[in-house]
Structure 1
Amino acid sequence: MSGQRLVHVAIEDDWEACARFGEYDVATRATMFDDTGFIHAATASQLAWALTGTYADLAIPLVLVVLDEEALAAEGVAVAWDPEGPADGGTPPVPRLLGAIPTESAAVVARVPLERAGDRWLVPDLAGLGVRP
């Protein structure tokens, strides 16, 4: 299965802890899926905003999870597009995953460790991963 792809920024410890149970249900930093009803995701062009807006002050390991939309749908996880987008209003609608991510499925295409340079997170090279622009 190979469809459009999205990314989700996860705290590495959260991802590993959830993976033991087969599904990841953390919406975003310190927020569970049950509290919001969705898991935050992003396109390639929205990733820098997510890293600087939500995770800038964290200096613990983060991982970028690359997700296949068709495989998510096959697992029963729909993607909704929030028309409001980030507060800056300069980006297109933001994807929201309407279910937990099955950690051991074709939906998870890759996990890319994120790196810091000084006080900021670096956006990794997503070329070849098929992430929506």
Structure 2
Amino acid sequence: MQRLYTMFPDGRPGIGLALVRVALAVATLVEADAAGRALALPWLLPAVAAVAIALGLGLLAPIASVLALLASGAALRRADGLDAWICALAMLNALALFLLGPGAYSLDARIYGRRLVVMQDDDEP
């Protein structure tokens, strides 16, 4: 994960990224619920719920955002009117999250974030 993103911003930008993650998770769940009922696929909602939880927590955010992008694209094919706009905005959020990264307030930052390693000389007592 560290190779994908050079830093995990904190402060106001980190809070903004956390809000983007949560908004995308909610939009993905709403789209999956509507698509699951329309297509009569009972397994769709639990699978997308796992992606939404990963998005909300910031766990494997690049993978989860690509999966949310694909889910929104699939929902967009069947949507019309306001639902189509919601799908399109969710796709933009997923793309933004993929490009920006999960932020400092995520599990990815906790697991894969930068660490300071202090080396101690053997000569010092």
**TM-score (structure 1 length as normaliser):** 0.22
Structure showing greater Rg: 2
Structure with a larger share of its residues in strand: 1
Structure with a larger share of its residues in helix: 2
